[in-house]
Every structure is written in structure tokens, then in C-alpha cells.
Amino acid sequence: MWRYILKRLLLMIPTLIGVLALTFAIIQFVPGGPVEQMVQQLSHSGVGGETTAISSVFKSRGGLQPEELQALKKLYGFDQPPLQRFGHMLAGFARFDLGESFFHHQSVAQLILSKLPVSMSIGLWTFFITYLLCIPLGIAKAVRDGSLFDLASSTVILLGYAIPGFVLGVALLVLFGGGSFWQLFPLRGLVSDNWDSLSLIDKVLDYLWHIVLPVTASVVGNLAVMTMLTKNVFLEEIRRQYVYTARAKGLSERAILYRHVFRNALIPLITGFPAAFIGAFFTGSLLIETLFSLDGLGLLSYESVMRRDYPVVMGSLYVFTLLGLVAKLLSDLSYVLVDPRVSFDGGER
């Protein structure tokens, strides 16, 4: 097992470098970098149409002088060749130094950590609610395959899957957020403005009150995939030969389902648990966060791309890719540990 783990860890290195290299190469051809944006800001007018002192000097001199432009490139690290900059970035990432944001003026690691609680709140609630609903519903659909309940529930969950999360979010705001009908839930944020002055119980209730709509908009789209996966896995197990043998021996359907089918059918679901759990920490959805005014990782990623904040783009990509590779390894390990028929060399025992 340890040999397999070491092999997978070593394979992560070229994969991680490849992802970073491809993204870094694409960045080199994207126009409107931080230097160009800074020059553009210097040339713009101030509030109310009155030019600022810096902008006036800038325009009177006909733009930046060559040495000033070079100093600006040095400030952002663009005075070095691309390969050298990529090497310095990899060296920093090896020490888990993600660099400093061009526009937020703080380290990328601190920036990610500051936005993480918002995405975690939505992601973890979505993860747990999805699993708690989908597994019992999928089992019920498999047991009642072809029944009216199966057809009706499939229609409902597929309809929910067809509706984009942000469209559902808009509908929820209109219906329950005071848009046109009822003011039952808040429109923005995870907590109220007076949250610090509330008691512990009131803080919990206030937090739960705020996450109802965004979590609902996130969960509905995930229900269909997990529910149908659970149903199909259980159906496959129910139709296996050992189930017919157990019935011939006189075992009840309940005993067959929970003693034999349940354990075998949960293997694919359990093996996907590590990746889904880790992914829940970084499940920031740009549209959901924007719609409900949640300042999380989804909004941060979008703003960093639009503003060409390359340290944030590369740093967040590095963290997400690394955690994704680790989650994949944990999923494979859990599959081998849960199913004794599979060995670490990729074959069956």
C-alpha cells in the first residue's frame, strides 16, 4: 500500500506542474495585464470629471517615461523572462508561498483563507444535505423501480436538475426574499449586521436563516445526479445472483436489502465521499455568491481573472489542483480499502 501511495504522490508532481505550466503559458498571451491596467488608471479622470494630481502630471508628460514603465514592470515582476518567472513561482509554491496579490495588497494564502468560510458554509451544507436526501431517495426509487412513486420523483428531480442554480436563486429571491411576494429570508450575506451583539442561540438561528435560500439553490441541482446514481447502483446489486440465492433461502426483502445489497451498493458512493467532501470546501459558485451577495472563493476567482491578478489566479489554481489530486488519491485508497476484491496493483484479488 505504501509503495502505491508513494507512486501516486510522485505522479502528482508532473501533473501539478503541467496544469500550472499550461495556465501560465495562456496568461502570457492575455491582453490587459496589470501593467497595462495601471497605466490606464493613471490616464483616467478622477471623480466628477476633475483630473487627479497624478493623472494631470501623467497626461502633461505624455505618458510614462521608459524608465518609469520599466520600474512598473519590475514592481509586478514582469522585468524577467517568462521561464524565470515560472521557475520563481514554482519555487515559492514548493514552500507554500503563494505570493502577494497585485490589487488586494495581501498574501494570496491569507486572501484565500479569508474567503474560505463563505464557500465552506455553502459547500458543506450542500454536501451533507445532498447525501442525506439522495441516498434514502435513491434506495426508495430502486426498491420501487417502475412504480408511480419512481416516475413522479424522477420527473421532479430531473425538472430541478434542468433549472440552473442561479435561475432558481432568482426565483427564490422573488418569492421569499421580498422581491414581489413574501419577505421571509434575507437578501444578502451570511449573517445580519448586528450579529456580534446577538446571543449564541440567536447567532446560530441568524446564520441558518441566511443560508436557506443559497443552499436550496445549490442543492436542487445536485439532487438528480446523486439520486439516479444511487438508484442505478442499488438496482444493479438487486439483480445480482446472490440476491436470488438469498431469496431462495427464505430471507426477507428487508434483510436482503440491508444486510447484503446495502453494503455492496454503497461502495461506489463511499469511494466518492473524500473527493466530494474536500470539494465542498472549495465549491464556490460565482453566480450563487453574486446573486446572494456572498464574498467567497467563486467571486474572488472571477475578480482575479478579470483584473489580471495573476498571483491570485495561479495561487488558487495551485491549491485547488493539489487538493483535487489528493482527493482523487483518497478516493482510490478508499475504494481499495472498502472493496477487498480490488488490489493496489489495479487488478482483482
Q: What is the pLDDT of residues 35-91, one digit of tens each?
A: 777 766 666 644 444 444 444 545 555 556 677 667 777 777 777 888 888 998 999
What distance in Å separates the CA atoms of residue 106 and residue 88, rounded to the nearest whole number? 19
CB count within 10 Å of CB 95 equals 7
**Domain end position, chosen among 38, 62, 78:** 78
What distance in Å separates the CA atoms of residue 169 and residue 289, rounded to the nearest whole number? 10
Over residues 106-146, the pLDDT tens digits come to 899 999 888 888 888 888 888 889 889 988 999 899 888 88
55 with 138, same domain?
Answer: no
CATH code: domain of residue 315: 1.10.3720.10
Which residues, other chains included, contact 13 with Cβ-Cβ below 8 Å and sequence gap of 6+?
none
- Binning the chain into helix, strand and coil, the percentages to the nearest 5 are 75, 0, 25
The C-alpha cell that represents 99 in the structure block: 505570493
49 with 188, same domain?
Answer: no
What distance in Å separates the CA atoms of residue 315 and residue 329, rounded to the nearest whole number? 21
CB 169 within 8 A of CB 285: no
91 falls within a domain: no
17 with 127, same domain?
Answer: no
189 with 330, same domain?
Answer: yes
DSSP, collapsed to helix, strand or coil, labels residue 165 as helix
CB 223 within 8 A of CB 133: yes
What is the residue range of 39's domain? 2-78
286 with 236, same domain?
Answer: yes
* Nearest partner of 119 among 290, 328, 2, judged by Cα: 290
pTM value? 0.76
Over residues 203-221, the pLDDT tens digits come to 888 888 888 888 888 888 7
What distance in Å separates the CA atoms of residue 323 and residue 236, rounded to the nearest whole number? 32
170 falls within a domain: yes
317 falls within a domain: yes
**206 CA to centre of own chain:** 24
What distance in Å separates the CA atoms of residue 241 and residue 263, rounded to the nearest whole number? 16
* Nearest partner of 222 among 308, 286, 285, 274, judged by Cα: 285
72 with 112, same domain?
Answer: no
Over residues 312-325, the pLDDT tens digits come to 989 988 988 888 88
DSSP secondary structure letter of residue 80: S
154 with 270, same domain?
Answer: yes
73 with 113, same domain?
Answer: no
67 with 155, same domain?
Answer: no
303 falls within a domain: yes
Count the domains in the chain: 2
pLDDT at 236 over 70: yes
More confident residue, 283 or 297: 297
